[in-house]
Chain A
Amino acid sequence: MSGAIPPREAAVSVRGLSKAYRGQPVHAGLDLDLRRGDILSVFGPNGCGKSTLINMMAGLLPADAGSVLFDGRTVAEARIGYVFQNYREALMPWKRAADNIRYPLRLMGRPRAEVERRLEALVAAFQVRFDLDRYPYEMSGGQQQLVSVMRALAVEPEVLFLDEPFSALDYETTLSLRELLGRVLKENRVTAMLVSHDLEESIALSDRVLMLTRRPARIVDDVPVPLPWPRGAETLLSPEFVAIKRRCLDVFTASVRATPEAVS
């Protein structure tokens, strides 16, 4: 189902990825490819292993079996970015916001001038109008998560992973951040993978939605999202969006009903 992408176009190839918790398989031989420049979102029932999948791909969690290759290289050799759900615990509160964004570049030993150029480019791209010389705890949740996104993008990652990036924010902030992020990712042709438990967000921010079943997770549908960018609030009302959402919802309810499983 996912082998349709030619190897040269794939930024990430996942083959036979498996993981079990206490003998219970979460993933059993999962294959997927992420096309360069695409935003892929993964959607499925609660506990289906979405976060496990993204964490294994990003190298935060060891897989039991299988491989994740970034253009033929392992995650340790690749340059990736990761945005955590909990920005409060992901940013370093002892560093000012700007230093948080500079941190990965300094870690890579980039010269000072280049670090500053990159920071300025990010500020321009995201049209940041708030003061980055403040500490994260002095900022709103939306501003903190924007700083997290800028930090993840600072190194110009080959793949950006986003784990429920907006789920701790209010709807108004989510809408504006989602639109901003979608625009910047598309303008810079960033390859990204999003995990979200919000179907609307999964569709609005992606070029392709993978629908997963309950564990062990299988890909039951691979839904293209050919909606034009940039996407704003009006996109959510377009007939095309509604049709995609209906298709996803049908697959979702069918897959949830198909495997009656005791609620754990």
Chain B
Amino acid sequence: MCGLVPPLLGAVGFVALWQAAVLLRLADPVLLPSPAETARDTWAAFRTGTLGHDVARTVQRTVLSFLLATAIGVPLGVALGARERLYRAVEFVVDFFRSTPASALFPLFLVLFGTGEATKVAVAAFGAALVILFNAAYGVMNARRTRVLAAQVMGAGPFRVLTDVLVWEALPQILVGMRQGVSLALVIVVVAEMFIGSTDGIGQRVINAQMLFESGLMYGAIFVAGALGYALNLLFLLAEKRFVHWSGK
């Protein structure tokens, strides 16, 4: 329980600073509503408005693109990592597109997938898949040589070495890649909701609230997006602790 106190103090301090800024009139009240007003507007948007639905839609898109990215990135990354020379050959392409801002790809994906749901999910899945692939490949390539030799000397063939050693050796790195991938997928989904023909989603709510000068709701939606990103990150950190108990030991 004691571990919860410092972060709570930090959060309280942040709200206090915000309140102080409002009281000192550091900004136009239309642009900077008080914490209480923001909370009230956000709560109202959940109760009578569509914010709950928006959160659900954003989560749905993020999870779908993340699942696609994992289904592509993990097997492909493991397979490429196991053939290091092959990975070196495609490494530049992977690195290049991993470094390309996914938002720059929106027009291309709009042409490929149209203006519907598919584009948002596809861009997010593409970005996340490259991050996951990269981490999975490096996890396999950095496998302890001794462990591979130990399996070989016990009679494991290439396939058993892959399934019994390399995949496990890469698992900590794969989960790191999945954590980064899900965060990236959320970022891309929220941006896509803002700018490519959406009628729902947190990104859409933020930009709508801004255009309608509903500042309280805008801040609220931003905080909800933040809470979502934080929760996803936390979920994967817990999964890493749970499923790769041997990591770092």
Q: Name A's B-contacting residues (CB within 8 A).
A: 58-60, 80-82, 84, 86, 89-94, 103-104, 107-108, 135, 137, 151, 155
CB atoms of B246 and A93 under 8 A apart: yes
For the side of the interface on B, what is the size category? 10 to 19
CB atoms of A107 and B153 under 8 A apart: no
Min distance, Cβ A199 to any Cβ of chain B, angstroms: 26
Residue of B nearest to A84 (CB): B146
Residue of A nearest to B144 (CB): A89
- What are the 8 A-B residue pairs with the smallest beta carbon separation, nearest first? A93-B246, A137-B249, A89-B146, A104-B154, A82-B153, A89-B144, A90-B150, A94-B168
Min distance, Cβ B103 to any Cβ of chain A, angstroms: 39
Q: Does B17 contact A (CB under 8 A)?
A: no
CB atoms of B156 and A84 under 8 A apart: no
CB atoms of A107 and B147 under 8 A apart: no
Q: Does B99 contact A (CB under 8 A)?
A: no
CB atoms of B147 and A108 under 8 A apart: no
Which residue from A86, A93, A94, A103 sits with its C-beta under 8 Å from B154?
Answer: A103
| Chain A residues near B155 (CB-CB < 8 A) | 104, 107-108
State A107–B152 Cα separation when bound (angstroms): 11
Which residue from B144, B156, B246 sits with its C-beta under 8 Å from A135?
Answer: B246
Which residue from A60, A86, A137, A151 sits with its C-beta under 8 Å from B246?
Answer: A137
Q: Is the interface of A mostly helix, strand, loop or mixed?
A: loop
| Chain B residues near A103 (CB-CB < 8 A) | 154, 164
| Chain A residues near B249 (CB-CB < 8 A) | 93, 137
Min distance, Cβ A105 to any Cβ of chain B, angstroms: 9
Can you give 6 contacting A-B residue pairs, CB < 8 Å? A80-B153, A82-B150, A89-B147, A90-B150, A107-B164, A151-B154
Min distance, Cβ A151 to any Cβ of chain B, angstroms: 8
| Chain B residues near A93 (CB-CB < 8 A) | 246, 249
| Chain A residues near B154 (CB-CB < 8 A) | 103-104, 107, 151, 155
| Chain B residues near A58 (CB-CB < 8 A) | 153
| Chain A residues near B245 (CB-CB < 8 A) | 135
Min distance, Cβ A79 to any Cβ of chain B, angstroms: 8
State A90–B156 Cα separation when bound (angstroms): 14
Q: Does B241 contact A (CB under 8 A)?
A: no
Q: Does B160 contact A (CB under 8 A)?
A: yes
Q: Does B234 contact A (CB under 8 A)?
A: no
Residue-wise interface mask of B (136-175) relative to A, using a CB-CB cutoff of 8 A (1 in contact, 0 not): 0000000010110110111110001000110010010000
CB atoms of A92 and B153 under 8 A apart: no
CB atoms of A107 and B150 under 8 A apart: no
